[in-house]
Amino acid sequence: MCIFCDIIHHEIPSKVVYEDDQVLAILDIAQVTKGHTLVMPKKHVENLLECDDETAAHLIQVVKKLAVQIQARTGAAAINILNNNGELAGQTVKHLHFHIIPRYNENDAFVCEFKESEKQDLDEVLALIQ
């Protein structure tokens, strides 16, 4: 179905960090920082928006537990938890996954920057999205 399904079914090897009946966590093949881990549901779901609540709830529990464990084991100063939904958002593998990215210093290879775009009328935005 997809490359992560192949990993889940042991058709492609991976370094398994954690596994239960619903979730698999593996080391990302391209370690942005040491300990960069991907956490995914075993069932094929394209992204978080399409995921059923029960799977999502368990997945986020595992993400949190592993983030705590990885920070403790690596001694990282901080952790980014990232989930890309859709190509424009940077999703390259269309199987839901969270990135756990330990952060060691300002020169880490991971950069996440929030810039302000044009000014928005916040009441209008609220009316739009609520």
Q: Name the one residue in this structure whose structure tokens are 């094929």.
A: 44
| CB of 88 or CB of 127, closer to ligand 5GP | 88
Stretch that binds ligand 5GP, among 43-51, 66-74, 83-91, 122-130 (CB under 6 A): 83-91
Which residues within the stretch 106-125 sit at the binding site for ligand 5GP (CB under 6 A)? Answer: none
User: Which of 89, 80, 102, 3 has the alpha carbon at shortest distance from 47?
Assistant: 89
Which residues within the stretch 8-67 sit at the binding site for ligand 5GP (CB under 6 A)? Answer: 12, 14, 26-30, 38
Alpha carbons 113 and 42: distance in angstroms, whole number: 31
- Of residues 47, 71, 74, 84, which one binds ligand 5GP by CB under 6 A? 84
- Lookup: tokens for 106: 């300002």
Beta bridge partners of 115: none
Which amino acids are annotated catalytic? Answer: 97
